[in-house]
Structures are given as C-alpha cells and as structure tokens.
C-alpha cells in the first residue's frame, strides 16, 4: 500500500491517492465476509489506459517482468475487463494470474506505482485480488462437469461401430384378413425392426379406416402382412 506522506507517495497525483484510498476501503469491507479471501497468485491491476487490450497487456508484462534477460514468469491468465454493451470499451482494470506466489509478489512490487509504464501521472494500482470461495467452488464444479462430458464424448467416439444386423422376416398375416391385393395402399413403415416402439411384436402394416380412429360405426383398422416384393412399387 502507498501511504500518504511516505517516500513512495512522492509524485503521485491526488486523484490516484484517492483511488488507492477507495480501493483499500472496499477491500476492508469485503474481507469482513468469511467467504472472501486474498488470492496468492492472482493480481488486480487498476488505473490502466483505455486503449490497452489483453494482448498488449500480456506482451507488456512479459517484457517488464523478465529478470535480467531470462525467461518471463508463467502467466496463467491475463484479461482486461470490458463493458458488455456497446463496443466493449475497457473498464480500466485487469486480472493477471501467475503460476506461483513468488512470481505474483515480484510482479506486484515491480508494477505497483511504477511511473515508467504509463507515465508519471497515471501510475498502475496493483493489489492481490479478492476471491469468493463460493464462486470458486461453482467454477470448479463447472470445470469438472466439462471434463466429464469431454471424457464421455471421447469414449463414445473411440467405441467401435456396431455391425448392423439383417432384418428379421416378420410373421405372415393371420387368417381372416383381406389379401394384400384388395387392401388399400399401405403406408411405408418407419423402420423394419421386428418390434414396434412399445416393444410389442411386429403385427404388420396398419391402415387407417375411412371414418377416423375410434369413431363409432367405422370399420376396424386392418393389419396387413409385410409385402414380399422389394424395389419399385408395381
């Protein structure tokens, strides 16, 4: 924290000091909730320029946090928050998550109140982000559900295709029915499976009587045998 009157507060504008005081007060209020805690690897960067987007911020951090020309720290997440409406203008703050606590702490000390990044009159305000354990639990549950769905989909795609079985010859029509030649044109069945949708044995093609289904005084629906002819209808 940059305290007013300290050596680190020299050259900081009054507006930036007011922002820092407001953020400290908001943090103090939120930490009164037992479900809210301070993250060890996630930083919140305030007072960013509006023209700075996520790729530029990531490139800037990788260049600034490089230690003596070595490899930059592992940045797991870098996201500039934007408005949901309109053109998605930047809200002026971002979240950056590192792989280890030491990397996050070093980045905070290197970036916070640094006049070389965006100018002496707009210094970044960097602090450890606050996290709600309830939201983190819901996020972990969503991730686990996504992993389970991905595993189930991969297992289903890796399963060998089933070999189709030949159609079973359905039973012939029973006695007392009209021959197929005198019956009205039969409708094509939805499938040539030996059992119907309800699991009952195949009973042939069913035709609808002229009077409608279930109307009093109408002839009963006729059950026709499966035609033996294949190919174009004759």
Q: What is the pLDDT of residues 194-233, one digit of tens each?
A: 444 455 555 555 555 554 455 666 666 666 566 565 666 6
Give the DSSP letter string of 124-144.
Answer: -EEEEEEEEHHHHHHHHHHHH
Instruction: Please report which helix (H) or strand (E) contains residue 156, including its range.
Output: helix 133-158
- Report the predicted TM-score, pTM, of the whole model to 2 decimal places: 0.57
Does residue 14 form part of some domain?
Answer: yes
Does residue 15 form part of some domain?
Answer: yes
**Residues for the chain: how many in total?**
234
Q: How many domains, in total, are found in the chain? A: 1
Instruction: Please report which helix (H) or strand (E) contains residue 36, including its range.
Output: strand 36-46
Does residue 91 form part of some domain?
Answer: yes
Whether residue 33 contacts residue 135, with contact meaning beta carbons closer than 8 Å, is answered with no
Instruction: Identify the CATH number of the domain in which residue 107 sits.
Output: 3.30.70.330
Does residue 222 form part of some domain?
Answer: no
Q: How many CB atoms lie within 10 A of CB 96?
A: 26
Share of the chain above pLDDT 70, in %: 66
Does residue 163 form part of some domain?
Answer: no
Instruction: Please report which helix (H) or strand (E) contains residue 145, including its range.
Output: helix 133-158
Question: Average model confidence (pLDDT) for the chain?
Answer: 78
Does residue 26 form part of some domain?
Answer: yes
Does residue 126 form part of some domain?
Answer: yes
Look up the domain containing 46 and give its range. 7-132
Does residue 60 form part of some domain?
Answer: yes
């Amino acid at each position: 924290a940059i305290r007013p009157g300290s050596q680190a507060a020299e050259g900081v504008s009054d507006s930036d000091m007011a922002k820092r005081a407001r953020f400290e007060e908001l943090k103090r209020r939120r930490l009164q909730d037992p479900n809210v805690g301070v993250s060890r690897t996630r930083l919140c960067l305030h007072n960013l320029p509006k023209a700075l987007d996520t790729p530029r911020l990531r490139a800037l951090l990788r260049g600034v946090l490089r230690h003596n020309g070595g490899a930059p720290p592992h940045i797991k997440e870098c996201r500039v928050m934007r408005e949901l409406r309109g053109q998605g203008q930047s809200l002026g703050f971002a979240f950056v998550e590192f792989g280890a606590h030491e990397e996050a702490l070093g980045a905070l000390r290197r970036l916070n109140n640094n006049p070389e990044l965006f100018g002496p009159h707009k210094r970044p305000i960097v602090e450890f982000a606050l996290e709600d354990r309830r939201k983190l639990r819901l996020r972990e549950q969503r991730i686990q559900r996504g992993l389970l769905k991905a595993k189930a989909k991969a297992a289903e795609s890796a399963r060998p295709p089933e070999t189709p079985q030949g159609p079973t010859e359905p039973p012939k029509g029973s006695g007392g029915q009209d021959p197929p030649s005198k019956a009205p044109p039969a409708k094509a069945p939805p499938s040539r499976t030996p059992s119907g949708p309800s699991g009952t044995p195949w009973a042939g093609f069913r035709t609808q009587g002229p009077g409608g289904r279930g109307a009093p005084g109408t002839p009963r629906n006729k059950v026709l045998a499966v035609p033996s002819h294949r190919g174009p209808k004759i």
